[in-house]
Amino acid sequence: MKAISERRAFLIAVIAAGAALLATLGLATAIRPSQFSTSPATDVLIGDVGQGRNLFLLNCAHCHGDDALGDEGPNLHNLHKSDARIHQVVTAGIKGEMPSFGKKLHDSDIRALTAYLRTLR
């Protein structure tokens, strides 16, 4: 079982690196590793990482820090939240802790932002 998890993590890392390269070249489109996996449990979004980084710097860095290691907001490295949970928090915010970005960011923006967050280790 551990070998399968390590292989899945390696595959996700390779796909993330490829997506980052494509984003740098402006060629990335949103893909899910689950398209390449037989396991439906994979819940990691790979998309336009470059766009996600730009969105992070414009909308999130003032609280989470430019490096996402935390400041007023928490450290966002090694998130153990599903893409759906990240989408929900970004869209609705957290009362008294984080503003809602649902009216400012589109679903595609949040997918790109999530893709960027998934690169933070």
Interval 45-97: pLDDT, tens:
455 899 999 999 999 999 999 999 999 999 999 999 999 999 999 999 999 99
- The residues, ordered by sequence, that sit 6+ positions from 117 with a Cβ below 8 Å of its Cβ are 52, 56, 68, 76, 79, 86
In the structure, what pLDDT confidence band is assigned to residue 37 with cuts at 50, 70 and 90? very low
CATH 3.30.70.60 assigned to 2-118: no
pLDDT at 48: 86
Full-prediction pTM beyond 0.75? no
Listed by start position, the domains of the chain span: 2-118
Residue 58 and residue 51 in contact, taking contact as beta carbons nearer than 8 Å = no
Neighbours of 10 (CB within 10 A): 10
From the list 45, 43, 59, the residue with the least C-alpha distance to 108 is 45
Rounded distance between C-alpha atoms, residue 9 and residue 3, angstroms: 10
pLDDT at 43: 42
DSSP lists the bridge partners of residue 46 as 31
Mean local confidence (pLDDT), 5-28: 62
Mean local confidence (pLDDT), 100-117: 95
Quick one: DSSP state of residue 34? G
Mean local confidence (pLDDT), 14-19: 64
Average pLDDT, the chain: 79
SS3 for 54?
Answer: helix
Residue 79 and residue 86 in contact, taking contact as beta carbons nearer than 8 Å = yes
Instruction: Report CA-CA distances (Å) from 68 to 2, 76, 121.
Output: 29, 5, 10
Q: Which residue has the higher pLDDT, 83 or 21?
A: 83
